Amino acid sequence: MSIVKRLVILLPGFEHMPVKAHFRRFVREAAKTAPVYDMAGIEASPLDESVIENGVAMGRFSLDTKGKDWSAHTDFVLYGLGDITLFYASRNPFIRLLSGLFSLFDFIITGTFFRFIATSWRYALFFVYPLLLIALILAASIGAGYLIHDIFPHNVLVLAAAFLLTGISLLWFSASKLHLLLLMDDWTFARDMARGKQAEVMRKMEKVVAHAASLISEAPHDTEVIVAAHSLGAICALPIIDEALKRNKSRRYGLLTVGSSLLKVALHPSAALLRRNVANVAQSNTIWIDAQSLTDPMNFYKSDPIRDLDIAKGKSPVLMQVRFRHQLCDETYRAIRHDFFRVHRQFVFGVDKRTSYSWHAILCGPQRFADTAARGGLPCEKTQCSEDSFKIAGPAIT
């Protein structure tokens, strides 16, 4: 019987979610995915929450999975990066909007936006989206002001009130329904990471990197080590692997980035440190899989981080192109395809159909990470369909 032991460092994207919510989602979506990939499993332990230095939450849990002639035990360490990014959401909405605009213009002035166009034109459209949204709000507010002015031509106060009420109403709608302020925070965070701004935020990120690297160095030699990151979590994943390499270069690490926003920061001219992290990882024996999707406007589809960052002598990751339409039933796909944030999160959600990519099957299944990378993805053929659901210990998910 094949037995796999893993340590997985989990790094979520730019979501203001507590560790417990991330844990519950992982377990729920793993349960959905398990029968698709002939897995059954029982959670080995409940979530163990703690707080590392500088106030970042961390959660530990383990999953035992099994199938025909195999079993796997995976220990997960989940870092609450939302504790870091929540700083941005806690500010005054006006400040959030202005700082986001300032950051967007920073990316334009430094030429980073034009590098986005050269690297992935779809991502450039995502960059333009909040600017277009704000332009439409301004246009609608001005239009409302002119309309009121035609009705009350000599009343400046009424005109100003119409302009402000329209603008505030549309901004509220955009923030609550179209994620405008979240996008502004996202771009502000990216700029701060590139330029090393916000000392407290940077210190927390550094503590996560050091803590994760320390745990990796303590893992037994027969344990497979994978750092798995979604979206902006990739900008923390590369420094973790780089730090782990400084402590032990002989060990072969696995790096899984999905829906990665690494280039969002790394293409900024001020992000020299992050580019060094990428270069060090690319020039090591680390196995790197980067999953991308055409459907997701928030990732750099068909990009190659090593090529696009002009890293000499670096080994490119295994690029895995994912079609969510092929993973989901028609009803589910229709329900999510127009919500770009939900589509972006599909990388870490469960699936209805078997394809070469699944977040949970890669991290919990029988294939060793090196084997998955060597064949360019998971095996799509079914072996023995399991009639068992993914069994979860009750107390751990309450």
Q: Look up the CATH number of the domain holding residue 70.
A: 3.40.50
**Interatomic CA distance for residues 230 and 210, integer angstroms:** 19
**Do residues 275 and 158 both lie within one domain?**
no
Beta bridge partners of 257: 229, 290
Residues 282 and 181 in one domain: no
Residue 181 sits in the same domain as residue 222: no
CA distance 377 to 355: 8
Tell me how many domains the chain contains.
2
Interatomic CA distance for residues 281 and 290, integer angstroms: 13
Cα angle at 362 between 4 and 20, to 5 degrees?
Answer: 95
Residues 62 and 141 in one domain: no
- Same domain as 151, residue 67: no
**Structure tokens given for 40:** 């059954």
What one-character-per-residue DSSP string does 77-94 give?
EEE-THHHHHHHHTS-HH
Question: What residues contact 396, with CB distance under 8 A and at least 6 apart?
Answer: 27, 43, 45, 46, 47, 61
Q: At 227, list the tokens.
A: 């750092």
197 belongs to a structural domain: no
- Domain edge (last residue) among 135, 154, 189: 189
SS3 354: coil
Structure tokens at 75: 């220990």
Do 97 and 47 have their domain in common? no
367 and 293 within one domain:
yes
Closest of 306, 380, 297, 371 to residue 339, by C-alpha: 297
Q: Are residues 264 and 311 in the same domain?
A: yes
Q: What is the residue type of 319?
A: L
Last residue of a domain, one of 189, 223, 258: 189
Residue 198 lies in a domain: no
Q: Spell out where 287-358 has E strands.
A: 287-293, 318-322
- Regarding whether 184 and 212 lie in a shared domain, the answer is no
pLDDT in tens, the chain (398 residues): 678 899 999 999 998 899 999 999 999 999 999 999 998 866 767 999 999 987 899 999 999 998 888 999 999 999 999 888 889 999 999 999 999 999 999 999 999 999 999 999 999 999 999 999 999 999 999 888 888 777 777 677 877 888 899 999 999 999 988 899 999 999 999 999 999 999 999 999 999 999 999 999 999 999 999 999 999 999 999 999 999 999 999 999 999 999 999 999 999 999 999 999 999 999 999 999 999 999 999 999 999 999 999 998 899 999 999 999 999 999 999 999 989 899 999 999 999 999 999 999 999 999 999 999 999 999 986 644 333 434 444 433 33
CB 59 within 8 A of CB 22: yes
Q: Which domain holds residue 151?
A: 92-189
Of the residues 163, 189, 215, the one at which a domain ends: 189
Cα–Cα distance, 368 to 361 (Å, whole number): 11
Asked if residue 238 and residue 152 are part of one domain, the reply reads: no
Same domain, residue pair 183 and 320: no
